């Protein structure tokens, strides 16, 4: 007993109740058996430095995550919740994990020998000329200077554009060039010129982004950026139909709910694009059955159901704590309805049809068989 050495994987499995609770906080569902299979077999096969016993090193976790998030068939959407929860545990460590994490090593300082400068036997009297004045005819650095620095042209106040955003006036010629004459003036002007502010990266779909400093209570402000059309199109084309294989879309929405924090309108857009009308209605019906009451159990109170999981657009402000809490509970209930709608009527023939492939490992086959039990029977594997 005293010689047993803990590994990252053994720590997570021995505290799996807390790990699963962390997943529920992130609107994700994971299972102990699949976590062990991924850590032992799947992630080491990516050949990015993941050891079979697991690791708490963020660079290695990031490399595995990049493999999982590859687009199309090269990716592994069913593994997204597992790597995201693993990463979140490392970045926001619970008390039982903190003692096992190593502090990042301090960067090494390398001392380099400085080469000796050759001794100059003679030096031109440059200092004398600089002190004597720029108009000395013998001055080798003599450059006629123009007038001193001009005052910068007043900048126009930002004005409202057509889209309601502030738009700054285009810089004039005096601002595009240096405000200082002569070689030294041009060098200084080019050095002090400030780079224009960069807009948020439009290739990353984050509906709610933190902007500016937090308020007096420490709560940050959020700005809304809608999903891009290309993201929605890629998600639709790269995922199987929910009725055929619900696992892909469930894993996708698990990660979207965690990383993107979609609003109520965004959730409706995802439901309309990724699901058929019948699938969408079934998900909403199942979700409304699972709205939690005051005791945490599903409630039958219609008023509470309509408040928690409304079918029409609510007036929730994501810049308030109450609004963010409402959105978080709505997303959790929606994911619970999605998982309930994914369960199909008992069909043992589907389970019996799951056969092991010739080149398939036993661990992978067992995971497929357990998934068939979960999908086509009410018996937990």
Q: Which two tokens stand for residue 167?
A: 């738009």
Kindly state whether residue 51 falls inside one of the protein's structural domains.
Answer: yes
- Is 362 among the domain residues? yes
pTM (two decimals): 0.44
**Is residue 169 in a domain?**
no
Distance CA 104, CA 348 (A): 51
**pLDDT by residue, tens only, the chain of 381 residues:** 445 678 899 999 999 999 998 888 777 889 999 999 999 999 999 999 999 999 999 999 999 988 888 877 788 888 988 998 999 899 888 888 887 765 554 555 555 566 666 555 554 444 444 444 444 444 444 444 444 444 444 444 444 443 444 444 444 443 444 344 444 344 334 333 444 444 444 333 445 556 556 666 666 666 667 777 788 888 888 888 888 888 889 989 998 888 888 999 999 999 999 999 999 999 999 999 999 988 889 999 999 999 999 999 999 988 888 888 999 999 999 999 999 898 877 778 888 898 998 888 999 999 888 888 877 777 766
Q: Which domain holds residue 264?
A: 220-342
Residues 6+ apart with CB under 8 A from 82: 30, 34, 35, 38
Q: Are residues 356 and 335 in the same domain?
A: no
Q: Please check whether residue 335 lies inside any domain of the structure.
A: yes
Task: Indicate if 373 and 285 belong to the same structural domain.
Answer: no
Per the listing, tokens 């929730």 go with: 316
What pLDDT sits at residue 232? 82
Within the chain, where are the H helices? 8-14, 16-25, 32-37, 58-68, 80-91, 126-132, 173-176, 182-192, 229-238, 246-260, 264-274, 277-289, 302-308, 321-342, 348-352, 362-376
Distance between CA atoms of residues 168 and 157, nearest Å:
7
What pLDDT, in 10s, does the model give residues 279-314?
999 999 999 999 998 888 999 999 999 999 999 999
Q: What is the pLDDT of residue 275?
A: 92
Same domain, 233 and 324: yes
Same domain, 271 and 357: no
377 in any annotated domain: yes
**124-137 confidence digits (pLDDT tens):** 444 444 444 444 44
| Together in a domain, 45 and 95 | yes
Q: Say whether both 315 and 371 belong to one domain.
A: no
Residue 30 in domain: yes
CATH number at residue 307: 1.10.375.10
Whether residues 318 and 255 fall in one domain: yes
Three-state DSSP class for residue 160 = strand
Question: What are the residues facing 222 on neighbouring strands?
Answer: 210
Query: How many separate domains does the chain show?
Result: 3
For residue 14, give the CATH number of its domain.
1.10.150.180
Q: In this structure, is residue 311 part of a structural domain?
A: yes
Q: What is the pLDDT of residue 54?
A: 92
pLDDT in tens, 60-104: 999 998 888 887 778 888 898 899 899 989 988 888 888 776 555
Q: CB–CB of 207/262 below 8 Å?
A: yes
- Whether residues 274 and 366 share a domain: the answer is no
Measured between alpha carbons, how far is 352 from 373 in angstroms, rounded to an integer? 10
DSSP helix/strand/coil, 128:
helix
């Amino acid at each position: 007993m005293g010689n047993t050495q803990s590994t990252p994987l053994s720590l997570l499995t021995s505290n799996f109740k807390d790990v699963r609770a962390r997943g529920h906080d992130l609107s994700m569902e994971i299972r102990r058996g699949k976590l062990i299979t991924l850590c032992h077999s799947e992630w080491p096969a990516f050949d990015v430095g993941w050891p079979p016993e697991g690791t708490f090193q963020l660079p290695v976790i990031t490399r595995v995550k990049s493999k999982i998030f590859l687009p199309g068939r090269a990716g592994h959407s069913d593994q997204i919740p597992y790597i995201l929860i693993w990463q979140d545990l490392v970045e926001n460590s619970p008390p039982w994990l903190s003692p096992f994490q190593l502090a990042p090593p301090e960067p090494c300082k390398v001392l380099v020998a400085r080469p000796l400068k050759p001794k100059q036997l003679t030096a031109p009297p440059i200092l004398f000329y600089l002190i004597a004045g720029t108009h000395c005819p013998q001055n080798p650095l003599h450059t006629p200077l123009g007038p001193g620095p001009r005052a910068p042209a007043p900048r126009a106040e930002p004005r409202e554009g057509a889209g309601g955003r502030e738009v700054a006036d285009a810089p004039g010629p005096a601002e595009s060039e240096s405000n200082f004459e002569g070689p030294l003036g041009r060098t200084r002007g080019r050095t002090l010129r400030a780079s224009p502010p960069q807009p948020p990266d439009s290739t990353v779909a984050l509906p709610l982004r933190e902007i500016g400093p937090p308020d007096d209570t420490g709560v940050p402000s959020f700005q809304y950026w809608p999903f891009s059309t290309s993201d929605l199109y890629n998600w639709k084309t790269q995922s199987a139909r929910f009725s055929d294989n619900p696992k892909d879309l469930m894993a996708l929405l698990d990660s979207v709910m965690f990383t993107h924090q979609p609003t109520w309108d965004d959730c409706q857009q995802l439901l309309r694009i990724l699901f058929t009308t019948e699938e969408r209605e079934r998900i909403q019906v199942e979700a409304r059955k699972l709205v939690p009451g005051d005791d945490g159990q599903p409630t039958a109170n219609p008023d509470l159901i309509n408040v928690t999981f409304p079918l029409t657009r609510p007036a929730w402000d994501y810049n308030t704590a109450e609004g963010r809490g409402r959105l978080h509970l709505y997303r959790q209930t929606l994911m619970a309805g999605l998982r309930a709608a994914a369960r199909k009527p008992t069909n043992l023939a589907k389970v019996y049809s799951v056969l092991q492939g010739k080149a398939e490992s036993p661990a992978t086959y067992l995971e497929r068989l357990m998934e068939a039990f979960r999908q086509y029977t009410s018996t937990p594997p």
